[in-house]
Structures are given as C-alpha cells and as structure tokens.
Amino acid sequence: MKTLIRLLVALMLLALLVTACGAPAEPTKAPAPSEPTKAASSAAPTQAIVAPPSQGTKLVASWPSLGPYQTAAKLLPEFTKETGIQVEVDFTDYTKIKDKQILELAKPTGDYDVLAWTVYDKNELISKGLLTPLSQFFANPALVDPNYDAEDIIAAYRNTGGVGGGQKGYLAGPTQGLFGMPYGAETSILVYRKDIFEQYKLKVPETYEELLTTAEWISKNVPNMKGMTTRGQSGHQITAAWLLHLSPYGGTIFDTKWTPVFNDAAGIKAAETLKKIMDNSPAGVNNYDFGAATSAFLQGQSAMYLDSYKIAAMSRNPSQSKVDGKVGYALHPKDKNNLSETGGQAMGIASNSKTPSSWRMPIPTGDRWCMNGRRRVCRSLAPRCRSMSPAKRPLSKHWTKLPPRSRM
C-alpha cells in the first residue's frame, strides 16, 4: 500500500505544478459549447521543478459520490493539517460527472485542479486534451520518490483507467501515454450466502453452467429466496450487466479493425445468460440499478450476486446489510475463460488547472485506508489487510485474470 500512497502523494504534487511548467503567456479563447477542444496545456518541463510552498494553497477536486472518495474526504482535515493545502471537493453522481467536468475542462482556466473519471470516459478526456500527461513528472526525481514501484500497481487497472494512445487509441501499446492512476478501481466477484449453500449442501459455482443451474434451483426450492440479483434498468445499467458476461464467453465489442462484433455468438450467449439471471432475480429487476441489485442481496432476497466487489464492504455495514457474517466470496464464473470486470475510476490532473504549485493525495496512512475497507490497486497486499477482508483472498488470485482493457 505504501507504493500506492507514494504515487498519490506524487500526483498531488503534480497538479499544483502544472501551470508552473511553462503554460502559455496568453490564454486561449473558450471553445464553443458544441465543440469542446483542447484546453491550454502545460509544456513539458525543461529543467528541474522546485515545488513551491503548500501553505495557503487551495485545490478543487471533482470526485464521484462513491465509497473510496467519500472515505478520502473524511481524511482531508488531517491532510490539510499535515500539508497546509486546503481541498474543496465537488461530489457528483458518477453517471453525470463527465458532462460537468468537460464544461470546466474546456475553458482556458477551469475550476477543477484534480478530477476522477470512470474508465469508460477516459478516452474522451484524453482525446480532447483535457488531462495533463504524467510521464513528464515521473521523469523528475524532485517530484517522484525514486523508490516508487510503478510495477506494483495492477497493470490492468492502470491501463484501463489511466493509459491512452496505444492500441485502438485507448489501450496500452507502443504509442501510449499515462494520464491517470487507478483510484477506486474495481473488478467483479461472485458473492453468495454461505448459510444457504451450507444448509442445502450446494456447490459454489465455478462455471456459468453451474451458476445458472444453481440460481434456478434456489429460486424453486428455497422459500422467499431468488437465486440471483442483477442490474436490469434500461440504458447504462443493463448494458453494464451484459458486459459482465461478455468477456467470459470470449466476446468483445469491436475487433482490432473497429468492426462491431458484439452480436456474434459470444454476445448472444451473454444476452441469453443475462435473461436467465433476470428470470431468477426478485420482482422488479427490470428497474434495478446497481444500488437496487446490491440491496436485493444485502436484504436477503437473493442468494447470489455477480458484480463489483464493492459489495464486500457494504455487506459488513449494519445500516445497509442483513447478511453480515453470512457472505462467501468466489471468483467470477468461467466459460471460455473467467475474465472479470476491469472498471471503476482513475484520477489525474486537469490540463487547465489554475493552481501553479504542487499537490498531494489525502491518504495519511495505508493502514487507515485499508481499515476503511476500500479498494486496493496494488499487488503487494499487506497481510493485515488481507486478513481483514475475506473478499480479498479470492481476488488476490483473480487479479492475474483481469482483462487489460475496458469493455471494448
């Protein structure tokens, strides 16, 4: 976790330095609302950058209203005490945050210094020149701890959330650039009711065939219980649910030549699987967003859940869960493979940040971050954190199976 902290400290130092690294003398005109264009960006530094004093500095961060960021916000007073940097956070629903960010980032000088994005918004932010490239700063030993181990960050999380300009324009590759680092990254995991499985002597599913068979059996044989729960609301939610199953069946959205292939045999099989899961989910599943799908499991209406592993912390929260102590965790089921979701968020620096000095990420200690039950993005999990979170044990094996791409 120390590795992640060093990275985030480095990132905080970078954002406040952006305009000190050779910004244009005269601001460019604001782009037309219909055509956000590249904001005035900082030139690569030509000499060592000396970090200016932090006392009295104020940063504005655009963060999604999600658990990792809510937890980080609770640590901001201590961060301010230690660094002298004031941080104002603008929280926005993660499904609406991109439009708000683009309006600010398209200005010559915007209100945001730091921003976080969901992985599927990464390419638009990069292609419009709205993010500051980070590689120039990693080349400067005055800014980055020489002991920082970038390879300890799980590559799939880093590539999905913060790398662009490589294969297909949004993946890693020879021409790639680094624009952000994972912060709130996530993967998918199978969560099940241990008490139900033990009572009825059920085998924890390892394949999709076993998953569907077990879900149907539970729906028919366990009183007041459905076998599964899933997102089903039209639009983003049901698309996310379908994509969960696409990669395990060997599917993808586009081939290497950008030809749509999502309607091939794998795509159809993923849709058929989602239909069977919905048939074995509680009434009203057609209107379920992530919160409703998760709640169905946490309130004891469903015996299995297959989605983001953020449910692990939620299941231990007495204000959200009736199943604390009854939850088991397993790998994403397999068909052609058992590739899981590679998603969540990443964080970087606005290319038009108005703050000409340095910033650091508000996470005082790795232990405290771990104890708040948040999502790890490093391979070197501390034994203490692993023992505190049973969900991390299967995930430590699963991280080798993450597809190094977002869902395209």
Give 253-320 as a 3 state SS string: CECCCCCECCCCHHHHHHHHHHHHHHHCCCCCHHHCCHHHHHHHHHCCCECEEEEECCHHHHHCCCCC
DSSP-assigned letters across all residues of 161-211: HHEESSGGGTS-STT-EE--EEEEEEEEEEEEEHHHHHHTTPPPP-BHHHH
Tokens encoding 31: 């782009």
Instruction: Select from 2.40.128.20, 3.40.1280.30, 3.40.190.10, 3.20.20.70 the CATH code of 2-185+343-401.
Output: 3.40.190.10
Note the pLDDT of residue 176: 85
pLDDT of the residue at 141 = 74
- For 187-330, the fitting CATH number among 3.40.190.10, 3.30.1120.130, 3.30.300.30, 3.90.1150.10 is 3.40.190.10
pLDDT of residue 378: 56
Closest of 332, 122, 166 to residue 244, by C-alpha: 332
Q: Are the C-beta atoms of residues 108 and 39 closer than 8 Å to each other?
A: yes
Q: Is 93 helix (H, G, I), strand (E, B) or coil?
A: coil
Q: What is the domain partition of the chain in residue ranges?
A: 2-185+343-401, 187-330
Within a 10 A sphere around the Cβ of 332, how many other Cβ atoms?
27
CA proximity to 12, closest of 348, 267, 302, 328 = 348
Calculate ∠ Cα 146-152-153, nearest 5°.
Answer: 105
Going from the first residue of the chain to its last (408 residues), give the mean pLDDT of each consecutive group of 10, the final group possibly shorter.
Answer: 44 44 36 43 40 67 88 84 85 93 92 91 93 82 72 85 84 85 88 98 98 98 98 95 96 91 97 98 97 97 94 90 95 91 89 63 37 49 52 51 42
Whether the domain at 2-185+343-401 and the domain at 187-330 fall into the same CATH topology: yes
User: Among 395, 369, 407, which residue's Cα sits nearest to residue 184?
Assistant: 369
Its pTM surpasses 0.85: no
Amino acid at 156: A
* pLDDT value at residue 70: 87
